[in-house]
Structures are given as structure tokens and as C-alpha cells.
Structure 1
Amino acid sequence: MAVKKITAAAEFLNKFSHLFRCPICHEPMTAVFNSLRCASGHEFDLSKKGTLYFLNHQIKTEYGTDMLAARGRMIRSGLFQPLITLIQSWLPQQSDFLLDVGCGEGSFLTQLATQQPGAKIGFDISKPGIYLASNRPSDQTLWAIADLTNLPFADQSATTILNIFSPSHYQEFARVLQPDGTLIKVIPGSQYLQELRHRFLPDEKIAYSNHPVQQRLNDEATILQQQHLHYTYPLKDTNQFTDLMVMSPLEWQASNDQKAELLAHPFAEITIDLEVIQAKFH
């Protein structure tokens, strides 16, 4: 018989409660039945899906179920397989705690964690994303809704932080990482999804640069290694093309007429252009 999600999550908390700290008073937390509780009495209960909610207020996000489900299907179809293979080669063989910041619907962490020992936690501010993630079978993985500017994790607890297509808070990352721990950050390059950009955006917005993001990381951390990934991915069918359109925020800037025209005349492949960086904090 399959173990209930809330039961598996409670076992996770019992085993790994030392990884957490209270996001309200910043004190250590202990597992109490289906909850985490600090000495000051702040308590965070597991949902029936085995997820934890650490926010003290609702955060509105446009990353909804349809968008994140489409993204998950594209990740699992192999759209980012070269990226996953590269990151797997950079992950340590021994790991106490792998943390995915801004995990979305969890497909990256689920695939990357298959060979990783220790605890795995993915969190996002999108409740639909975390609920989708909780439907994935995963070993020693917990999903949570949290704020990256106030991480509910203990000082020097994480072996690796993943930060894939997501905002960063380097002060918190440095606090949570172990002294020899590393950050793996993925930044879209200037040609990322360029076929969609050319069809959806006005001319003045097609070109862009993430140089400021790269420079900020250079200022905050020591770059251990960096690799540029550039390739095209063939789109197999109409369903996959539709998922590609829905998975990106680029769709938010397109009119219904633009989307209908693109579906009527789809392109055959999409460009993936990424900077993958492993860094260590000073």
C-alpha cells in the first residue's frame, strides 16, 4: 500500500527537522506530529498533500496551474535535457541537503534528485506549482511555499542551492549554504526562446541582455565554473507546441490574434540559450 503523502512528509520532518528555522523568530524548529514548531510556539502544519506553507500573507503570482503544468510536460519531454545532464555532473556525490529555490512544479528537482542522497526540498511562492509538485513520486523530497527573502532553513544547512530561471537573494543563499556549499544558477541567454520572442514581442523588445544579472552574481560570489548551453529542440507535435507557448511569460504579452496565428503556422524548433553557473560565496 502506498504511504499517504502527509505520512511521508511527517516522516521527512522527523528525520530532517534540524534543517529548518522559524521564518518568524528565526529559532530552530522541531517536528511535532504533522507540524514544525519553534520554542516560541510558531507552528506550521502539513497540508493533506504533505506540503508546508511558510508565508504569513498571500502573495499574488501569475504562475498558475496551466502554465506550470505545461512547463512540467516540456521539461519531462526533454526540452532541457542538456541542462539537466550538466547540472547532474556538477552536483556533489555526497549531499546533506539539496534546495531548489523557485522550483515551480518540481520537474527539475525531481529529475536532478534521483541520484542525490540526503534531503531534498523544493519551494516556490506559487501554490499551484507546489500542489503540482506534490503529485510527483519522489524519495526524501519535501515541497513548500515560502519566500526566498526569508528562507525557513537553518544557517549553513544546504550542500547545494539550485536557482533555475528564478530570482535570487544572495544574502540568504550565503547564510543557508554550508561553508563549502555551492549555488548553481541558470540564466537565460539573449537568444533563449528567440522564435517566440520574434512572434510575440514588438521589435524594440525582442533583443535583451541578462548581463546585469550575471554582473550581480560576479559581485556577490566567486564563480567556480560557467558553461554556455546553446542548442535547438525539435517540436514533435501540436500539443508540444501549445505547451511551449503556454509555459513562458512571453504569452502574457501576446494578443489572442497573435497566438491564433502562431498556432496556425507553428515553427519546427525552438532555441535554448543558457548560462549555467556554479558559484561559492565569500
Structure 2
Amino acid sequence: MKKIEVVETWLSEHLAMFQCPVCQSAIVNLDQHSLICSNRHFTNINKHGYVYFINHAAKGEYNREMLLDRRKLLQAGLFKPMVEVVARRLSAQDETILDVGTGEGTPLDQIRLARASSNDTYLGFDIAKDGVQLATQLDPHLFFCVADLRKLPFQSQQFSTIVEFFSPSDYGEFKRVLKPGGQVLKVIPNPDYLIELRQLLYADDQGHQTYSNQSVKDLFKVHYPQMEEERIQYQFDLPFDLRFSLVKMSPLHWGKSAKALTDEELIKLTQVTVDVQLLIGHQS
């Protein structure tokens, strides 16, 4: 089957989950490669196998090259232990899972693999079409779309779990689309996340060598006062051929004072620290 046929089959089975990006009315039909709402607005299904739910031009921070570097590291296992911790926070029952800021989709696919015995429903979205287009290369059980975090194209109370890996949040929209009793699993960096890379890039800039996630945690607690936390920390052995990819996939190298690393410096980068905090919030 062509990609567009695969995604149309998936959409036909999950049509009631979506709402029109123009008027927020229900999507009621799928015809001629388009989703059609009750007010007759049409949203086209892309030939690459995803839906573009934004009515304006949008560009993400990550370009295709960075996303490909990210995929190499993630498929080599950089995030796998943290993804497994997130997967263990899911229920034994079948879930409907939304991945916010999915990028090129690997973490969502790794959750699917960790829950191979479950009959879950998986959706990932990002504002960057480069990432979503790459994500459509993954398992056909995953659905991906381009969407705006501030105006999600989903009907209310559709998801049992929202997952986020280093992505921004819109807690108003999260509360709208989560089912009663649903949960948000948000992964944020701790101060020692990729500390070895940060120290190389900013050897002469002490300000950029430190980081605090306290404001993110404080805002999460405002919305989920009974929040839980779990620290996830481990060392990742960095394959030699992926050391430059690690630099390119991370926004750490965007800073004006970031050094251009030499081959000699990269050779010494044999291991990096993954140190993150998992924030868990429950929908009342």
C-alpha cells in the first residue's frame, strides 16, 4: 500500500478523534484524500502519509539534517532507558497516547516496541514538517501530523496519556484533550544533562555550563499540584562515528559563544551523561 492509503485506513478507524483546524467542528468524513468537517472545510492528507493541520506557514527549530542526526543517536539508544521508564508509567490497559513535539518520531516508536503486547493508539505531532515527514517512515501503527501546540486538532477527552520529551507545553490544551483520570508524562533536562558536551562547547563561558529546570517544575506544579517526580540518570557510551552527530542534534551548539570542536576534542568525548527529570501530572 502507498503511504497515503495506509494513513487513510488509519484515519477511517479514528475519525472521531479529530476536529477541524478552521472551525473546531467535528471531522465527519474522509473523501478524495481529504478530511471534511461538518461545516465542509477540507484538510488534505499529504502524499507522504501525514496531515497538515496548520492554516499558516510554520517552521520548527530543527532542520532535516539535525533531525537525521537525532535519529541516529536515538536509534543507537541515547534515550532508550528514559523511554523505558516512561513506558512503565503507562497502564496495563490499552492506551491512547499523544506525543507532543514528536520530532522524527523515534521515542514514540520505542514506546510502541516496549508495549508490543498492548493494543494502544499512537499519535505524534510537531510543528516542523521535516520531522513529521521522517516520522512517517516508522511503523504504520503510528500516526503523525503537523499541528500547533496552542490549537490542537483533536476533540476533547481523547487521550489517556500525553508524553513529552524536552518539548514545550500548553496545559490548557492538555487538560482539554486528556480523558478524566489521564496523565501527562513530561521529561525535562536536569543540570547534568549532556554536561560533558556543554563543558566542551562552553569551556570559557561558565554561564552556559549551568542550567536550572526549577521554573519548568514550578509551572507544572501549578497545573498539577499533586505532581510526582522521578529522576532518570545513566551514562551512554558514545559510538565514535556518532560524536559529531551528538553535537549537531543538540541546540547546545547554537549559543553565540559555543566553540567549534576539533577532532581531537571529539575523540575524547567517549561517554555522555543523560540526567533528566520525569514529571507526572494526573487529570482530575
Which TM-score bucket, shorter chain as reference? over 0.9
Give the CA deviation at 1:255: 7.0
CA distance in 2 between partners of 1:182 and 1:7 (Å): 32
Of 263, 281, 284, the match for 1:279 = 281
Give the CA deviation at 1:266: 3.2
Task: Sort the Cα spacing of 1:257 and 1:186 in 2 relative to 1 into closer, same or farther, 3 A.
Answer: closer
CA distance in 2 between partners of 1:122 and 1:264 (Å): 33
How high is the TM-score relative to the length of structure 2?
A: 0.92
> Mean alpha-carbon deviation: is it higher for 182-191 or for 60-69?
60-69
| 8 Å contact kept, 1:242–1:263 | no
Task: Sort the Cα spacing of 1:155 and 1:79 in 2 relative to 1 into closer, same or farther, 3 A.
Answer: same
CA distance in 2 between partners of 1:113 and 1:12 (Å): 16
CA distance in 2 between partners of 1:203 and 1:102 (Å): 30
- Any residues of structure 2 matched to 1:256-267 within 5 Å, and which? 258-260=260-262, 265-267=267-269
| 8 Å contact kept, 2:105–2:131 | yes
CA distance in 1 between partners of 2:225 and 2:272 (Å): 32
CA distance in 1 between partners of 2:255 and 2:279 (Å): 29
CA distance in 2 between partners of 1:35 and 1:97 (Å): 23
Cα deviation code 1:134-167 (max 9, x no counterpart): 111232x211000011000010011111111100
State the AA in 2 paired with 1:150.
K
| 8 Å contact kept, 1:159–1:182 | yes
Aligned to 2:167: 166
CA RMSD in angstroms comes to 1.7
The reply to whether residue 98 of structure 1 matches residue 97 of structure 2 is yes
Give the CA deviation at 1:222: 4.0
Q: Secondary structure at the match of 2:262?
A: helix
CA distance in 2 between partners of 1:59 and 1:227 (Å): 34
| 8 Å contact kept, 1:149–1:172 | yes
State the AA in 2 paired with 1:73.
K
Of 242, 248, 251, the match for 1:249 = 251
Give the CA deviation at 1:69: 1.0
> Mean alpha-carbon deviation: is it higher for 163-172 or for 65-74?
65-74
Give the CA deviation at 1:236: 2.1
Q: Secondary structure at the match of 1:199?
A: helix
| 8 Å contact kept, 1:53–1:146 | yes
> Mean alpha-carbon deviation: is it higher for 227-236 or for 256-265?
256-265
Aligned to 1:113: 112
State the AA in 2 paired with 1:113.
R
Runs of 4+ off more than 6 Å: none
Aligned to 1:143: 144
Aligned to 1:235: 238
CA distance in 2 between partners of 1:74 and 1:123 (Å): 20
> How many pairs does the alignment contain?
278
| 8 Å contact kept, 2:154–2:177 | yes
Give the CA deviation at 1:37: 1.3
State the AA in 1 paired with 2:88.
S
Give the CA deviation at 1:43: 1.4
Give the CA deviation at 1:178: 0.2
The runs of 5 or more residues in structure 1 that have no matched partner are: none
CA distance in 2 between partners of 1:278 and 1:255 (Å): 35
Of 3, 8, 11, the match for 1:10 = 8
Of 21, 25, 39, the match for 2:19 = 21
CA distance in 2 between partners of 1:207 and 1:18 (Å): 46
Aligned to 1:122: 124
Q: Secondary structure at the match of 1:138?
A: coil
The reply to whether residue 268 of structure 1 matches residue 267 of structure 2 is no
CA distance in 2 between partners of 1:81 and 1:264 (Å): 23
Aligned to 1:31: 29
| 8 Å contact kept, 2:201–2:258 | no
CA distance in 2 between partners of 1:266 and 1:58 (Å): 42
> Mean alpha-carbon deviation: is it higher for 261-270 or for 35-44?
261-270
Q: Secondary structure at the match of 2:57?
A: coil
| 8 Å contact kept, 2:21–2:55 | no
Structure 1 vs Structure 2: percent identity of aligned residues?
33
